[in-house]
Amino acid sequence: MNINRIEIEKINDYLWEIPRRGGMLVAGRIYSSEKMLRETFQNDEAVKQVVNVAHLPGIQKYSLAMPDIHWGYGFPIGGVAATDVKEGVISPGGVGYDINCGVRLAKTSLDYSSIKNRVQKLTENLFIDIPTGVGASGAIKKLNLHEIKQILINGSEWAVNNGFGSVDDLMLTEENGKLENADPNSVSSRAIERGMDQAGTLGSGNHFLEIDIVDEIFDEKAAGVIGLFKNQIVIQIHTGSRGLGYQVCEDYLKILVRSDNKFGFNLPDKQLACAPIKSLEGQNYLGAMRSAANFAWNNRQIIMCLAKKSFMRTLNISEAELNFGLIYDVCHNIAKIEEHLIDGEIKKVCVHRKGATRAFPPNSKLIPDKYKSIGQPVLISGDMGRYSFVSIGTDKAMQETFGSSCHGAGRVMSRHQALKEAKGKNLIDELTKKGIVIHAKGYKTIAEEMPHAYKDVSDVVDVMHNAGISTKVAKLKPVGVIKG
C-alpha cells in the first residue's frame, strides 16, 4: 500500500510497517486495520511524522503509531518512541504541550436506574463545582510559591496531604502520582505563575468530566477485579497540566530549537527539536517535564475529590452509600525512563508516549498489587456522544510496543473543520436525544468536539484488542458531560 508516496507493508491484519529508507534509523510501524488505513490516513501528514521520528538519534526498534494516530507537533499524536538513555535524545514534541494529559476513572456503588432522574442536576452541579474552560481557576485557594513547588515535587501526594483523597488513591495512580527527580528550578517563573490558581481545574478543548454507565462487560473476571458491574455509575476525568505544562513545553522548544546547531543533528523536521538525554538541556527539560506531570496528577486528584463532594451533596447521600473510589489514573503525554528487553538484553530507555497509554502486563512490578493478576487498566476515552473503554495491558505489549496502547478515538477533523461541519446543527439537541446531558462554557467547544470530529473509538480499541496489545474489559456510555 502507498500513502503519501510512503510504501507501507502489511505484517498482519492489524500491523503495518514502513521499511527503513533514507536517514531512518529504524522502521516505522502502525497498528491499524486496512479499512482505517485507507479511510483515514490517505491525506494525513501523521504517516510522514512516523517516518520523521525514525530519524531520532538513539531510537530503538521502531517508530510506533497507535490506531488513533493523527497529526501533531513533531511527533504524531498516537506516537511512541523509545531512545537509548546513553546515546539517545529526548524531544518535547514526543510529549506534547499538555504534559501528562491523562484519564482518571472512579467508581461508585450506584446503579443508573437509581439516579436516572438526577443526572441533569448532577451535571449542572458538577459544572458549578469544578472550574472549566480556558484560564479556569479558583477550585481551591490560590497557591503560594512554596506550595506550588511542593506540588511540582510531590504530585498528587500534596493533594492527599491537604485533605483531597486518601493514600489508597496514590497506590492506584500510575507512578503513585509522582515522578521522581522533578526539578521545580527548571520550571520558568512564567510557567509557575500560570499554575498558581489552576490546581483542580478542568481546562478546555477535549478535556472533560463525564458521568458514565458501564454499558457492556467483555471480561467478567477482569471486571470483577477492577470493581465494575453492568449499569454502574462511574466518573471519568480527562485533563492535564493546564497552563503550567503548556508553558514548560513552549519554553523548552525555544531553547532546543536554538540549540540545534550545538548538537549537530540533521533531522527532517525542526519540530523534532531535541537534546541528548545526558546533556544539560536534556536533563533540565526532564526535570521540568516531570514537575508538570506531577502538577497534572495533583490536578486530577483534586478534581476527583470535588466530584465526589458534588455527588454526595446533590444526591444527599453518605460517603458509605456512594462508595466512591479510584479505579486507576493513567497518563498519555509523557516521557519516562524505563527498562525494556531489546535485542535480548534489558536496556534503559526513554519512552516517549504522546497520545498513547502505558499498558503493562500481569505481574509487572510497576502496577498495583490489586491488578497483578489481570494487568494494568488501560483507560481509553471516546467522544462525548458515543463511548469509552476500559482495557488491560498484556505481555505482547511489552514485547512489541514498549508496554503501550492507544489513548482515545483520534481526530479525523481539525477544530476548524468541525466548526464548519457543525453549522446548522443543534448538537445539544442531538446529544439530548441520545440521553446525554451536556454543560459547556460555550457552543464553540461543543462544535469543535462533536462526535464526528473523531474516529469511532470502538474501531481503535478493536485494533489493539485483536492485535493482542490491550484486551477489552468494559464499554462505558456517557450520560452527563461537562466541558470547558
Active-site annotation, residues: 407
- Asked whether 254 and 92 are in contact (CB, 8 A), the reply is no
Report d(CA 197, CA 208) in Å as an integer: 19
Characterise 275 by phi-psi region: left (phi > 0), alpha (psi -120 to 50), beta (else). Answer: beta
CA atoms lying within 13 Å on the CB side of residue 227: 17
Cell numbers standing for residue 409: 478515538
In sequence order, the 6+-apart residues with CB closer than 8 A to the CB of 41 are 3, 30, 32, 47, 69
CB-CB contact of 42 with 3 (8 Å): yes
Side chain identity, residue 110: L
Query: In whole angstroms, what is the distance from residue 207 CA to residue 110 CA?
Result: 24
Is the separation of the CB atoms in 60 and 401 below 8 Å? no
Query: How many other CB atoms are found less than 10 A from the CB of residue 65?
Result: 31
Tell me how far apart the alpha carbons of residues 360 and 375 are, in angstroms, rounded to a whole number.
Answer: 6
Angle at 264 between CA 285 and CA 276, to 5 degrees: 30
Q: Comparing C-alpha atoms, which of 203, 382, 205, 372 is closest to residue 295?
A: 203
Taking alpha carbons only, the member of 472, 466, 476, 464 closest to residue 391 is 472
Tell me the DSSP string of 41-68.
STT-THHHHHHHHTTSTTB-SEEEEEEE
